[in-house]
Amino acid sequence: MSDILVSVVVISYNSGKTIKKTLDSILEQSYGSNNIELIISDDFSDDDTIDNITAWISSYGEHFFNVIFNVNDRNLGIPKNVNVAWQKATTEWIKTIAGDDFLHADCIKYYINEVKKNKGEAYFSYMQSFIEINNEIVLGNLFPDKNQVQAIKNGLKCQKKYLMRHCFSVAPSSFIKKTLLEKIGYADEDFHIVEDYPLWINIVNNDIPLKFMDQITVFYRIGESASRSNSRIINLDYCSDLMLLEKKYIIPLLHKNRITRLRKMIWSRNYKRVILLFNNKKTIISKVVLAIFNSLFKPGYLSRALRLRCE
């Protein structure tokens, strides 16, 4: 047994077709599955996810030092579901992964090595996107982009500044100390879909810097999701979460910058209305109108388009 045990938390919902690859990637960790506590929390799936997980645990669960499988009796949404799992963890460190992604074989080993030489409480890394075609993995782009990586590496002050404008696209790679999650009150359950953005803000606002490791630790499935779609502009529930985030976390911190505060307020109160003008359909016209609206009223929109970095 290693001197540092790790809880790997799997969040599943209708992941029947992908969950086996996720679980296999945890079992096959070079760090040793006997050093891993496997925690799975399913958010009331209505496909064969639960049966597939139950069968997999029956075959391979004995390889872990502890296994916890929770099934919610109703759909709670991502923040509440992930909190259920996080609160069940009995180890010092938590690695979270969705039921349609999978871990690099050396994921946990990389993080533990980093923890031992670079003390921190919240670590992130590169993640490799992929799609699956005819059961074959086709790799895509690396996330996060170089500008987000630079912002994280530039330290706490830059991280706070960046998060006032954009989220860090790092959630699938997270490796976080449980005591830190306890300190900040876990994920904010006022949200239904967005669990990561408020979490990063709460961490840095407690003066805990985010750390970045130059390794690929997770493979992230690209497809229809809460924030992206081929046909609609945005998931409206996701949009509502973004508006709540602006109101609850961002705007109150802008009392000294009245112009930015005003722009944020106009954007957060009207963005969803502009989307609904186009029935949430992606068209050339809707893209142009939203780009103009964001340029005028969303602070940071142009700086992101121009790849402006924190100094």
How do residues 239-250 score in pLDDT, each as one tens digit?
A: 999 999 999 999
Q: Higher pLDDT residue, 299 or 252?
A: 252
Q: For 272-294, what is each residue's pLDDT tens digit?
A: 999 999 999 999 999 999 999 99
* pLDDT above 50 for 173: yes
Q: Which of 103, 50, 42, 52 is nearest to 75 (CA)?
A: 42
The angle subtended at Cα 276 by Cα 270 and Cα 281, nearest 5°, is 130
Residue written as tokens 């010092």? 92
* pLDDT above 70 for 107: yes
* pLDDT above 80 for 96: yes
* pLDDT above 60 for 224: no
Q: Which of 81, 95, 87, 20 is nearest to 45 (CA)?
A: 81
pLDDT value, residue 310: 45
Q: Decide: 122 and 208 in contact? Cβ < 8 Å.
A: yes
Residue written as tokens 């969040």? 11
Express as a percent the part of the chain with pLDDT over 90: 83
Q: What is the mean pLDDT of the chain?
A: 93
Instruction: Tell me the average pLDDT across 53-63.
Output: 98
